[in-house]
Amino acid sequence: MRLKEKYQKEIVKQLKEKIGYKNNMLVPRLTKVVLNVGFGAHSKEKEYIASVVKGLTSISGQKPVMTLAKQSVSAFKIREGMVIGAKVTLRGNMMYDFIEKLVGITFPRVRDFRGISENGLDNKGNMTIGFKEHVAFPEIRVEDIDNIYGLEVCLSTTAKTKEEGLELFRAFGFPFKKDSK
């Protein structure tokens, strides 16, 4: 069963009972997934930027949008309007397909993966996951890459609290570890 169908048929009922909502529309859901790569010191290297764009395109299935600097920072040699990163926003079916691939294929391929920290969620139930190497994604062939770079995956939800977001992500099958405090 696909993840979107599973959410609509099983997860909504499960969360409705667990959290105690009376209406299905109150149950938290995913709104979007954003993949983000910052160029850092490589922001002036055209080959590096082309490599990142090619990698993000193959991972997400969409062409990335270039992000521009909002203000100049002389310490980092950045000028306003300069390209400093690339991002892709996934919604709808592509978002659910990406999450299914992320949980089922990508996490097991990450080197020394011990689970996601529960501290990765903010107080509104949104989660950000950082990858040190983009080669964990199945679309990337190690033989064909020129540069290894990190990327960030931001998952936005309609959850009102951190606990609701945590329950939603657990229902989707995200592997969380218990944080020692």
Where helices occur in the chain by DSSP H, the ranges are: 3-6, 12-15, 46-60, 92-101, 107-109, 162-172
Q: Are 55 and 72 in contact (CB under 8 A)?
A: no
181 in any annotated domain: no
| Model pLDDT, residue 180 | 47
Q: What range does the domain containing 39 cover?
A: 32-88+95-122+136-155
Q: How crowded is the C-beta side of 9, counted as CA atoms within 13 Å?
A: 6
Q: How many domains does the chain have?
A: 1
CB count within 10 Å of CB 29 equals 15
Residue type at position 64: P
CATH number at residue 51: 3.30.1440.10
Q: What is the pLDDT of residues 1-55, one digit of tens each?
A: 688 888 888 888 988 888 888 888 888 999 999 999 988 777 778 888 888 888 8
Q: Rounded mean pLDDT of 85-104?
A: 91
**Dist CA 160 CA 53 (whole Å):** 34
- pTM listed for this prediction: 0.85
Q: How crowded is the C-beta side of 121, counted as CA atoms within 13 Å?
A: 25
Measured in Å, how far apart are the chain's first and last C-alpha atoms? 37
7 in any annotated domain: no
Residue type at position 24: N
55 in any annotated domain: yes
